[in-house]
Structure 1
Amino acid sequence: MCGVCGYVDPAAGSDPQHGPLARMTRSLAHRGPDGEGLWAGDGGVHLGHRRLAILDLGQGGTQPMTGEDGAVVVFNGEIYNHAELREYLAGKGRKFRSRSDTEVLLAAWEHWGESCLERLNGMFAFALWDPRRRVLFLARDRLGKKPLFFHHDGRFLAFASEPKALFCHDRIRAGRDIDLRSLSDFLSVGYVLGDKSIWSNLKSLPPAHGATFDAATGSLRSWRYWNLADFVLAPRRPYDQSAREHFMELLDDAVRLRLDADVPVGNFLSGGVDSSAVTAVTARISAHPPTAFTVGFAERSFDERIHARIVARHVGVRLEELEVAPDRDTDLAALAWHLDEPFADTSALPCFHLNQAAARHVKVALAGDGADEVLAGYPTYKANRLYSVYRHMPAPLQAALDHTARRVLRPSYRKVSLDYKLRQFLAGRGLSAERAHYWWRVVFSNAEKHRLLSDDVLAALGDYDPFTVFADHFKEVRGGQFLDRCLYVDIKTWLANDILVKVDRTSMAWGLEVRSPFLDHRLVEWVLGLETSAKMRRGRQKCILKDCMTDRLPASILNRRKEGFGAPTAGIGRVDPPESGRLAGLFRQNFRLSPAREDVTYKSFVLRMLAAWAEGAA
């Protein structure tokens, strides 16, 4: 796991030590605290790398790395099947001088070219300069576990693992401004959707995509090398005993591959079924019992340590616990710096602390991320089924229920509180099934955004609606069963643009690599092709996982209500008088985005919301 950056600029000098490349690379030092590499070639090609050493801890893994045929690569991530690929390529005459998966990636490129992506099992984002074709090749893993941002304006292209690195280049920083559609995304769902970024002059290479930049013409061509929709629309396989056996074979192998490291490996353990299952498999197949890490809060509804202790004792692992008080100004400021873009998932804060604690003991941690999206674990999937009944109730009755809920139910800051779920559900009356699925995650409605955003911004946005991103993904799997279509949409949006962003930024902030066995693409492909009863049946969720873990985890863990991983936020800003609250103060200090963006929102409306929050009325 590392940080990568670089650019192709024919007008640039050839000294990588002096100029934008050095600044860009050093801005990513947190992603790779174990080493730095800078390289420049003919034609203004510059590549930078910060290394987090996981495999071949000596010089064999140093980057930028040059292959036998002269290609040069900077690589962020892990190729989990590198041993298998190394054996195959060695049989074809390739010589290897290290254990590094980066060297295997180079050899794979030189043997297969662009089609090497189809053979990689891993999480990755990399840039490779091919001097023979004079092209820069960019690529990102199938599900988007590792980030890759870029700027392209004709003859000039730059890329980096994080936006902050790109803004170390004067040419890019000078054109920085807010992308209003991304701002609208953030206000609607709490994160930026698709290949946009919050910055108008930056984009993100989509998951499962490769791209080539032709240094001679300045053209950029991108393509998709893996299509998840194919597996959603494939004929359904039956859910039976053989399916359960194959699922466990896939999960066991996914964990086995992710234990490959020349540094200590641990587990994240919340006490939920996903992280518990990964920890149980790790404890069973690992040569050394791993250490598990969990985080807790004084607010009992958010504290899951008791469940983590039950699992740790049951599977025989040591548990490291950390209690967090998530209301410190410095924490919020540091987290915002690492995130780079607006991000409203409160679980980012406990994840930030959990990764900090784990990084004191290990350099790699296995986690349960992705299981909810692949195996239908979220309450929203139950809401979809209930809504299929609710939407056929008489409209006056729907309106009466919604009005009563808004009058009677006071807001609660308890985790996954009933008032929030019920009010959101009842307010979804009159929506299509697809729009309702989107509505369950909406933060600000379109009507509320019209109160929040200035007239000029609303005019510039026109008829843009973030739901169109979801609607387009629903269309890509038209004809599939509705549950599977929802899983596909959530993988493309919530997982790619929220969960995996959170995992990457909060782990890389502390130089920690997080690996997610449930996101092994072989497991994802296979599970999405199963009949829906393997994922959800009569309200029971993650059926195949729970059935397979019946003899491996306590019943109290398997039968737990889904709670998610969040942080208590009620205490932030709660002081007297409200106007001097911590959050309001932070807001006033950091609200100005740029002189050109002072008119983005109506400040008075925002400050009224903050004051209501501080008083406990919102």
Structure 2
Amino acid sequence: MCGITGWVDFAGLAPDARSVAEKMNDEHVHRGPDGYGIWISARAVIAHRRLSVIDIDHSAQPMLLPGDGPAPDAARLVLSYNGELYNYRELRAELAARGHRFRTAGDTEVVLAAWAAWGPRAVERFNGIFAFAVWDTTDETLWLVRDHLGVKPLHYHHRGERLVFGSEAKSLLAHPDVPVAVDEDGLRHLALPLLKFPGTSPYAGIAEVLPGTLLAFSRNGVRARRYWDAADLISRPPAPDDVATAAGELRALLADTVARQTLADVPLGTFLSGGLDSSAVTALAGRLPQRAGVASFSVDFTDAAGDPHSRSAQDRHHAREAAAFIGSDHHSIVLDSALLADRAVRDATVRARDLPNGFGDLDMSLLLLSRAVRGHVTVALSGEAADEILGGYAWFQDPSAVWAETFPWIADSPAHGHLHQRVLSTLHPGLLDRLDLGTYLRDAYATTLGRLGHDPALSKDERRHREIIHLAVTHFLPTLLDRKDRLSMANSLEVRVPFCDHRLVGHVITLSRAVHHAGGQEKGVLREAVRDLLPASVVDRRKSPYPTSPDPDYARRLRDQLTTVLADPPPGLHDLFAPHVLDPARITGAARSHGLVSNFEGEVVLNFASWLRQYAPRLAP
């Protein structure tokens, strides 16, 4: 993958434009350590950092398409592209038949040639994960484009005649005209870390291009168009309740998707937790002749308590069992408490995400896992999105979550470890009163469901199941995709997500609840689709959350860090958190192993302290 950034200013560029562009581009060096480039004209700056995955020695960016006018060397189109186009070979052949003469062997030139041939409608032909910027010099329009599910990030800041864009917020914040500020809505988003509000960012003035969207900026301002929307698919009548047919179609789609996504000119592996989703992806990858004995990776923890029933111990057992059955070259990455609790690791994790939102040591472990995996491969496949599109979480089935009149994973239910309530309990009462999160959540929930249409023949249960699929795809899955992208790309590791293939998603989310839960198990249709690929213990295993460190030494180290932070807290910390959370006498209660995420309250405080120290944001008064 790569990092893209730049801006367009119809008032003209300042004299220091190149130095600003270099600074912004350098913020993405982790996304693209293998190459860089900057293109500048009178009104536009297009910059790029490259991670070489396909056509390693060529396909440098920004990539230009020359015009046909009196100055043949002048650029007609300028492209800065982040992503992978999995059907680029088919598109390349079609474009070559139309007369395009290719100079490179990669997918970047295919994107450029497709845009030249078909304009913005080219994106409707793309299968992949991508975020890119195209500057069209003929009509001076900047196009920003994001993939169907929003796997790859793309932020922008628009004010008057200027629009600044970048893969990560840090590149925009490096521009002198983009403030490092958080307004009241931004504070609401920080207080609701389990929800992603599409198109928004906690930073004032910074938005995201919506998934499945084309955004154009010209002298006439900004306009956007959705080219793909999961809501349109979910609103369709359900497919017949035929488990065998649905499983067969899912197997064919998943196999094709995995085959496409293993295309790379660099070493490739998979994340293998021992759960159903990652095991299915690894098994299908390992069946490909060119990927026999594919490298697989799982995370493990030192456990001073030696509990064989801990989540990490169970995952360790199932990952090894799956790897042995599949025949993958498996690597168990063991993290000890000293490394996991290292302040530099937390700072790097917060820096990777540009925000304090996170899931405690789950984030640090993913950062460290990605760092270790990058020592072996450049590309890895992962199982994200299967639970959201197939109803795999407990909150798809627990009545107290299913029928709550809110996003089910933040309902006051054990289905998600009461994490939402635990977050709220840490915040300053005055801040909670000012933000009025209850009203904000009700409005967001109603607006989201208001976008759905439903077949009147649907039963109450079926209608609610579809609503939760929609809520999960639009407001929960993006938090996981953001997390995986930032923490893997912080280590220059490209992660691909086969379950986010838009063809597969389109098939699965129109299936009925009965098919999703075939055999009385969550993701029953997926279990049937891959049953012959995996050991029965993995196929029939119940959903297990991402593991958290079971080592009590980690909690002790966390308490020591809290003591240090509270002795000299950064400005703003006392305005955000309740007095009892920042009371040194209660540190033991803030760092303890319990629930879905251990040490949660202490983790939240330490994350915010790191963010306030590193970014010094201006918070809404």
- TM bucket normalised to smaller: 0.7 to 0.9
Residue type of the partner of 2:325?
H
Greater mean deviation of Cα atoms: 233-242 or 5-14:
5-14
Change (3 A) 1:198 1:607: farther
* Structure 1 position 302 matched with structure 2 position 305: no
Do the aligned partners of 2:391 and 2:469 also contact (CA within 8 Å) in 1? yes
Q: 1:589 to 1:73 in 2, by over 3 A?
A: farther
Seen in structure 2, the aligned counterparts of structure 1 residues 469 and 492 have a Cα distance that, compared at 3 Å, is same
Once structures 1 and 2 are overlaid, which stretch shifts more, 541-550 or 5-14?
Answer: 5-14
Find the counterpart in structure 2 of residue 335 from structure 1.
349
Aligned to 2:548: 567
2:20 aligned residue: 20
Counterpart of 2:107 (choices 96, 101, 123) is 101
The answer for the alignment partner of 1:53 in structure 2 is 52
C-alpha change, 1:340 and 1:572, in structure 2 (3 Å) is: farther
C-alpha change, 1:248 and 1:467, in structure 2 (3 Å) is same
Q: Does 1:201 align with 2:210?
A: no
Identity of aligned residues (%): 31
Asked whether the 8 Å contact 1:377–1:542 carries over to 2, the reply is yes
Aligned to 1:152, what secondary structure does the other structure show? strand
Residue in 1 that maps onto 2:331: 320
- Give 1:207-218 correspondences, 5 Å limit: 207-214=211-218, 216-217=219-220
Residue 198 (structure 1) shift: 1.7
Q: Determine the C-alpha separation between the residues in 2 that align with 1:191 and 1:591.
A: 26
Q: 2:373 maps to what in 1?
A: 358
- For residues 89 and 467 of structure 2, the distance between their equivalents in structure 1, rounded to whole angstroms, comes to 35
- Equivalent residue number for residue 404 of structure 1: none
Instruction: Structure 1: state its 5+ residue gaps.
Output: 389-430
1:287 corresponds to 2:290: yes
Question: Could you tell which deviates more after superposition, 248-257 or 478-487?
Answer: 478-487
Residue 2 of structure 1 contacts residue 75 of structure 1 at CA under 8 Å; is this kept in 2?
yes
Deviation at 1:604, TM superposition (A): 4.8
Matched residue SS, 2:269: strand
Letter in 2 for 1:453: H
Aligned residue type for 1:259 = T
Distance 1:198 1:570, change over 3 A: farther
* Residue type at the aligned position of 1:19: S
- Partner of residue 63, structure 2: 65
Are 2:466 and 1:484 aligned?
yes
C-alpha separation in 2, matches of 1:486 and 1:611: 37
Gaps of 5+ in 2: 68-75, 595-600, 602-621
Distance of 1:587 and 1:150 partners within structure 2: 35
Q: Is the Cα–Cα contact under 8 Å of residues 309 and 319 in structure 1 kept in the other structure?
A: yes
Deviation at 1:253, TM superposition (A): 0.5
Q: Which residue pairs with 1:612 in the alignment?
A: 589
Between 527-536 and 256-265, the greater mean CA deviation after superposition: 527-536
1:569 Cα deviation (Å)? 7.5
Letter in 1 for 2:24: M
One-letter identity of the residue aligned with 2:329: R
Partner of 2:92: 86
Distance 1:363 1:466 in 2: 40
Partner of 2:262: 259
- 1-structure distance, mates of 2:470, 2:365: 27
Aligned counterpart, 1:403: none
**Structure 2 residue identity aligned to 1:62:** A
Structure 2 CA distance for partners of 1:269 and 1:12, relative to 1, 3 Å: same
Kindly state the Cα deviation for residue 23 of structure 1 after the two structures are TM-superposed: 0.2
For 2:224, the equivalent position in structure 1 comes to: 222
**Contact 2:401 2:409 (C-alpha < 8 Å) held by counterparts:** no
Q: Normalising by the residue count of structure 2, what TM-score does the alignment of the two structures yield?
A: 0.84
The answer (yes or no) to whether the contact 2:12–2:42 under 8 Å persists in 1 is no
Q: Residue 468 of structure 1: CA displacement? A: 3.1
CA gap of 1:202–1:381, structure 2 versus 1, over 3 A, is: same
Mapped to 2, the partners of 1:143 and 1:49 lie a distance apart of 23
Q: Deviations over 1:296-334 (max 9, x none)?
A: 013452312221111111011111111113222221111
Distance of 2:539 and 2:258 partners within structure 1: 20
Q: Aligned pair 1:152/2:158, yes or no?
A: yes
Q: In the TM superposition, what is the alpha-carbon distance from 1:259 to its structure 2 partner? A: 1.0
RMSD value, Cα: 2.6
3-state SS of paired residue (1:63): coil
Q: Paired residue for 1:503, among 464, 478, 484? A: 484
Of residues 592, 603, 611, the one that matches 2:571 is 592
Cα gap change, 1:570 to 1:171, in 2 (>3 Å): farther
Give CA-to-partner distance per residue, 1:6-60, whole Å, 9 cap, x none.
Answer: 01124554878842100000111000010111110122x001110000110112x
Distance in 1 (alpha carbons) for counterparts of 2:592 and 2:120: 57
In the alignment, is residue 493 of structure 1 matched against residue 475 of structure 2? yes
Output the amino acid matched with 2:516: K
Whole-angstrom CA distance in 2 between matches of 1:235 and 1:605: 49
CA deviation after TM superposition for structure 1 residue 158, in Å:
0.3
Counterpart residue type for residue 288 of structure 1: R
Residue 311 (1) aligns with residue 311 (2) = no
CA displacement 1:413-462 (0-9 Å, x = unmatched)? xxxxxxxxxxxxxxxxxx7454555415563449x848833636743658
Superposition pairs of residues 543-558 of structure 1, within 5 angstroms: 543-558=524-539
Contact 1:373 1:487 in 2 (8 A): yes
Q: Are the counterparts in 1 of residues 46 and 80 from structure 2 also a CA contact under 8 Å?
A: yes
Q: Secondary structure at the match of 1:287?
A: helix
Q: Kindly provide the amino acid, as one letter, of the partner of residue 449 in structure 2.
A: F
CA distance in 2, matches of 1:527, 1:134: 40
Cα shift at 1:476: 2.2
8 Å CA contact 2:155, 2:167 repeated in 1: yes
The aligned amino acid for 1:313 is A
Closer/same/farther in 2, CA of residues 257 and 186 from structure 1, 3 Å limit: same
Corresponding residue of 2:278: 275
- Match of 2:330, as an amino acid? L
Alignment-derived partner of residue 142 in structure 2: 136
Deviation at 1:260, TM superposition (A): 0.9
Q: Residues 327-347 of structure 1, C-alpha deviation per residue, up to 9 Å, x if partnerless?
A: 222211111111101222232
Structure 1 residues 462 and 245, CA gap change in structure 2 (3 angstroms): closer
Distance 1:572 1:125, change over 3 A: farther
Aligned twin of 1:397 = none
Determine if contact 1:369/1:516 at 8 Å carries over to the other structure.
yes
Contact residue 189 and residue 202 of structure 2 kept, 8 A: no
The residue aligned with 1:33 is 33
Deviation at 1:244, TM superposition (A): 2.1
- Name the structure 1 match of 2:618: none
1:590 Cα deviation from its structure 2 partner: 6.2
The 1:581/1:108 distance shift into structure 2, 3 A limit, reads same
2:398 corresponds in structure 1 to 383
Q: One-letter code of the match for 2:119? A: G
1:348 is displaced (CA, Å) by 1.9
1:185 Cα deviation after fit: 3.1
Pair 192,610 (structure 1): closer, same or farther in 2 beyond 3 Å: farther
